[in-house]
Homo-oligomer: A and B are copies of this chain.
Amino acid sequence: MFDGLSAFPPTPADAQGHVQEKLLAALIGRIVATEADSVGLLGSTGGYAYLTPSERQRAVRVAVECLGGKRPLFVGVGALRTDDAQALAMDARKAGADGLLVAPMSYTPLTEEEVFQHMVAVAEAGELPLCIYNNPGTTKFTFSEDLIARLAKVPHIAAVKMPLPADGGFTGELARLRARLPQDFTIGYSGDWGAANALLAGCDAWFSVIAGLLPAPALALMRAAQARDEAEVRRIDARFRPLWALFQEFGSFRVMYAVADSLGLYSLAPPRPILPLSGEARARVEAALEALGAP
C-alpha cells in the first residue's frame, strides 16, 4: 500500500489551527482525480506538529470520506509522548485510515532503544501497516540502518520513508537496505528534489510533497520512472527545478502555502512562528509554477 506515488497534501487550517474541511476535501479530490497511488495525510508538510489531536482526527475523517476507499490513506501520528502517538494511531484506525506514518518527534534527544520501543508501542496500538518516518531535519533523530532492519521485523512495520542521502548515493544505500529488509518491505524517499534520482535508482515509493498540490506532473514523473524512461524523467524533473530550489532554500512547508495561493486553491498563512514567503521569494514561486506549466 506504500508503493508508488504517495501524495502528501498540506492541511489547510485557519490562524487558530482549525482544519478547513472543504479546502482539504478539494485537495484530496485533486489527488484522487489524477490517480496517485496513495495519500499521506498529516505529514510534516501537512503540519501535523501544529494541530491538536482533535483537529488531526477531523482531517482524517474528511480524507476518509473524500477518498471513499479509492486509494489507500495513511496518516502521520507523530507525537512527543508515546501514549499520545498511540492514541493518535488508534484514532486514525477508528476513523478509517489504512496505514500509519510515524515520526519520532523529539525534544530531549532520543536514543535508538527509545525510538525502537516507541515505534513498537505505536505499531501495537495502531494495528495498521506502518511506515517509519525517517526525517532527521524535523525530528532530529536519524534512523540507522541497523535500527530500520530491527524495526522491519516488528509486526505491522512495512515501509520506511527515507531522507535523501547526504552524498546523493541512492544505489549503495538501497543495496544495503534491500540486503537487510524483507522483500516486500517498501523503501521510499522524501525530498522532492532528489526523487528523480531515487526513482531511477530503483526505490519503491516517492513520498511527495508537491504531489499534494500538483499531483499530475508528479505522477507523470513517477510513471516515466516506472516505465524506465530516463529521458522523460529528466525532462519533467528539469521543469520542476525552480520549485525544488525554493523547497531547498525556504523549506517545503513555507513554499507550499505560496503554491496553494498561486494556484488559487486557498490563501492561508502558516501557523506562527512559521512566516509566509514574501517579496522576491514569493515572486519566485510564481515563476517556478510558470516554468512547470502549472496549473
Contact = CB atoms under 8 A, between A and B. Distances in A.
A272 B82 contact: yes
Interface stretch (A23-31, A100-108, A175-183): A100-108
Contact of A81 (B44, B50, B115, B251): B50
B108 A49 contact: yes
Contact of A50 (B17, B80, B138, B275): B80
B272 A81 contact: yes
A83 interface: yes
B137 A273 contact: no
Interface residues of A, number: 34
B107 A272 contact: no
B109 A138 contact: yes
Q: Chain copies in the assembly?
A: 2
Q: Is the interface of A mostly helix, strand, loop or mixed?
A: loop
Given A49-B80, A50-B81, A275 B111 contact: yes
A271 to B, nearest CB: 5
A114 B49 contact: no
A110 interface: yes
A58 interface: no
Interface of A: 15-17, 44, 49-50, 80-83, 104-105, 107-111, 113-115, 117-118, 121, 137-138, 140, 251, 253-254, 271-275
